Structure 1
Amino acid sequence: MASSLVDTAAAANLCRLTAAGRRPARSFLNCACSSTDCRVSASYPIGRMLSGVRSAARKKLFRSDPADQLLGINSWSECGTDHHHWWTALENNFVLEASDDEYGGVVVDADRLPSDNAAFARSLAASLSYWKSVGKKGVWLKLPVHRAELVPLAVKEGFKYHHAEEAYVMLTYWIPDEPCMLPANASHQVGVGGFVINDQMQVLVVQEKYCGSSLDGAWKLPTGFILASEEIYTGASREVKEETGVDTEFVDVVAFRHAHNVAFQKSDLFFICMLRPVSSKIKIDETEIQAAKWMPLEEFVKQPFIQEDHMFQKVMDICIQRLRKCYCGLTPHHVVSKFDGRTSTLYYNVAEPEDVNCGAA
C-alpha cells in the first residue's frame, strides 16, 4: 500500500464520492480524514510500471475523464511526482484487470470485467492507450456468453474475432504498427477410425444413419472425432464403444491421413487405429448408427467403395500387412519435455525387439 498526504479539500471530496457510492464498488482508495487533513492510501500493483510513462500519455489515457475536477487539480501540468499516487489510483480504477502473457502481451481477466457496459467501453479505450504507452503487443479478450453484449463494443474499438466456444467468444487486438504475430485459431480437426478384428478374421463394421450418397449401404469402420484433451488411443476405443457397444484394447496407429478444406474449411487429421476386441456383443447407438456387425475381412475389402478408391484400398492393404506382422504401427509412449515440463504422448515404432508387438524384422 502507498499513502500520501494530499490537499485536504481534494482528498475529502474524493473520499465523500467514494463513500456515497459514486465510485465503483471495488474502490482503490482507503480514506482517513481528520479535521485538518485527509490521508489516502491506494494499492497499485500495475501502477508501479508507470513511473516512466510520459505525462502526455497519461493525459491521453484519461482524456475523457474529469479526473482533474474530481481531485481538485486545475490542470494536468500540476500532476508531477508529488501526485503520482493519484495517477496510480486512477490507473488501477480504469485499466482493465489483466495479466502479462509470455510474448509481451496481456490477457484480460474475464472474471473481473466492469459490470456496466458504458464503464467497460471507457475502460477498454483507456486500457488500449495505457498498454500502447508501455509497449504491450497482443491483447486477448475473452468475453463469457452471458456478457455477449460487450462484443460490439470491443469490435468497435478495433478487436477482431479469434474463435468461439460454447461458453465464450475470444477476441484479439494487435497494438504495434507491424504484422500481427498472434497465433491463429486452431487449423485442424482430429478424427479416428477403429480397425477392430477378432480371432475369426472378422472386422467390426457399421452402417451410418446419416451419410453421403457414395457410402449409402456401405459397411465401414467405426469413426469419430477426438474430444478436447483426449488421447488418440483412448478416443479410438471410446468411439468404437459408443457406436457398437464393443470394448476394445488399443494396439497401434497403422496410418493417418492429412486432408485440407474439409469441415468449416479446416484441415483434417484422421488416424487409423488397430484395436483388439475384448468383448463381442454389439449394441448400437441408434442416434447415429443404422446397423453394426462382424463381417469377414475378405468380404469387407471387396466392397466397391474400397476397391474403387485408392486411399481406402491402401489403408486396407496396410491393415492386412499389419495382421501378417509384416508392418509395424506407431505405439504411444508418455514422455516429458523440458520445453514445457508437461507429459505428452509420442507415437513411434519401438526399436527394442522385446517391445515390438508386430513381430516385424
Structure 2
Amino acid sequence: MGKKGIWLKLPLEKSDLVPIAVKEGFQYHHAEPGYVMLTYWIPEGPCMLPSNASHLVGVGGFVINDNNEVLVVQEKHCSPSNLGLWKMPTGFIHEAEEIYAGVVREVKEETGIETEFIEVIAFRHAHNVAFEKSDLFFICMLRPLSSKIIIDDHEIEAAKWMPLVEFVKQPLIQEDSMFKKIVDIFVARLGMRYCGLSTHQTLSKFDGTTSSLYYNVMDNENINCVGN
C-alpha cells in the first residue's frame, strides 16, 4: 500500500491486544486516559514518525493591585527548600488551552481572584523535569478584577495580598538567581522600563487557522508600552 509508518490506536476495551502488537514489533508512543498509541516503522533506517510531546507548559501569574500589593500563595505540598515561601500562583495549562486563558484560570482556581491577562513578561525553558520532559514556564502579568481571596483547600495552604517590597525582600527570592531576575523584570515592567509580550489573534494561510501570536507593541517615541 506504500505505507512507511503505522499508527495503532488501541482503546481501553482492546488493551488485551497490546502484548500481541508489541510481539509483532510495535513500540509504545504515548497513552491517554482512553487509549494507548503504538507505532511501527516499516523501512530500514531511523523512524521518521513524529515523537511524543516533548514539553509540559506551565504558567505563573503576577497579579498586583492599586495598593502595590502582589497576590501570593503558600502551597500545601512543596519541597522543603520552599517552605515558608510566598510565591505567585502557578500551574499547568490544559490541552488546547491558551496561555493567557490558562494563567487566568489557575489564579482563579487557587485564590478565587478574577483577573485580566496583560502580558507574558518572561519564560523559562528547563529540561528533564516531570516525567523526564522539558518544561516551558510562562510568567504572566495580570490585572486584578476582584479582591476577595477564596483559597483552594486542596492545593493552597494560604493566600494574601502582600506589599511588593515585602515580597521582593523574602530571603528565598533574594537567594535564588532565577526568582530574583523574574522579580527584577516585573518591577521594571511596572516602571515602564520593560515591555512584555501581549497576545494578538492572527490568521495564517499555511494552516487556515487563527492562533495567538505573542509580541510587544512599543511607542515609536519612547520605550513605554502602549495599550496597557
| Deviations, residues 130-181 of structure 1 (Å, cap 9, x unaligned) | xxxx321110111011211111111111100000011110000001112110
SS in 2 for 1:186: coil
Give secondary structure in 1 for the equivalent of 2:20: helix
- Give the counterpart letter for 2:100 in structure 1: Y
Local SS of the residue matching 1:164: strand
Question: In structure 1, what is the equivalent of residue 17 of structure 2?
Answer: 150
Matched, 1:309 2:176: yes
Q: Which deviations, in whole Å up to 9, do the C-alpha atoms of 1:223-265 show, x marking residues without a partner? A: 0001000000000000000000000000000000000000011
Count the aligned residue pairs: 226
Aligned partner of 2:120 in structure 1 is 253
1:277 to 2:153 alignment: no
1:294 equivalent in alignment to 2:161? yes
Pair 1:318–1:191, CA change in 2 (3 A): same
Q: Which amino acid aligns with 1:159?
A: F
Tell me, in whole angstroms, the C-alpha distance in 2 between the residues paired with 1:254 and 1:324. Answer: 13
Contact 1:326 1:359 in 2 (8 A): no
Identity of aligned residues (%): 70
1:102-117 pair list within 5 angstroms? none
Deviations 1:47-79 (A, max 9, x none): xxxxxxxxxxxxxxxxxxxxxxxxxxxxxxxxx
- TM-score norm. by structure 1 comes to 0.61
Equivalent position of 2:101 in the other structure = 234
Whether 2:60 is the aligned partner of 1:187: answer no
Structure 1 residue runs of 4 or more that deviate by more than 6 Å after TM superposition: none
Q: Indicate the SS of the match to 1:274.
A: strand
User: Which residue does the alignment assign to 1:23?
Assistant: none
* Residue deviations 1:29-60 (CA, integer Å, cap 9, x gap): xxxxxxxxxxxxxxxxxxxxxxxxxxxxxxxx
Q: Does 1:331 align with 2:185?
A: no
What residue identity is the alignment partner of 1:246?
A: I
Q: Contact 1:325 / 1:359 at 8 angstroms: preserved in 2?
A: no
- Is it true that 1:243 corresponds to 2:110 in the alignment? yes
1:164 aligns with 2:34: no
What runs of 5+ residues in structure 2 fail to find an aligned partner? none
Amino acid at match of 1:272: I
Where 2:50 maps in the other structure, the secondary structure is: coil
Q: State how far apart, in whole Å, the 1-side matches of 2:216 and 2:117 are.
A: 15
Larger Rg: 1
Secondary structure in structure 2 of the residue aligned to 1:219: coil
Structure 1 residue 224 corresponds to structure 2 residue 94: no
TM-score, structure 2 as length reference = 0.96
Deviations 1:94-149 (A, max 9, x none): xxxxxxxxxxxxxxxxxxxxxxxxxxxxxxxxxxxxxxxx3211101110112111
Q: Which structure carries more strand by proportion?
A: 2
CA distance in 1, matches of 2:219, 2:98: 24
Between the aligned partners of 2:37 and 2:86, the Cα distance in structure 1 is: 41
Q: Distance in 2 between matches of 1:174 and 1:345?
A: 34
Higher helix share: 1
Q: Superposition pairs for residues 51-90 of structure 1, below 5 Å?
A: none
Equivalent position SS for 2:208: coil
By how many angstroms is 1:352 displaced?
A: 6.0
1:359 is displaced (CA, Å) by 4.8
Asked if structure 2 preserves the Cα contact closer than 8 Å seen for 1:249 and 1:276, the reply is yes
In structure 2, the partner of 1:319 is 186
Aligned residue number for residue 36 of structure 1:
none
Q: Which residue number in structure 2 is paired with residue 347 of structure 1?
A: 214
C-alpha distance in 2, partners of 1:278/1:351?
Answer: 25
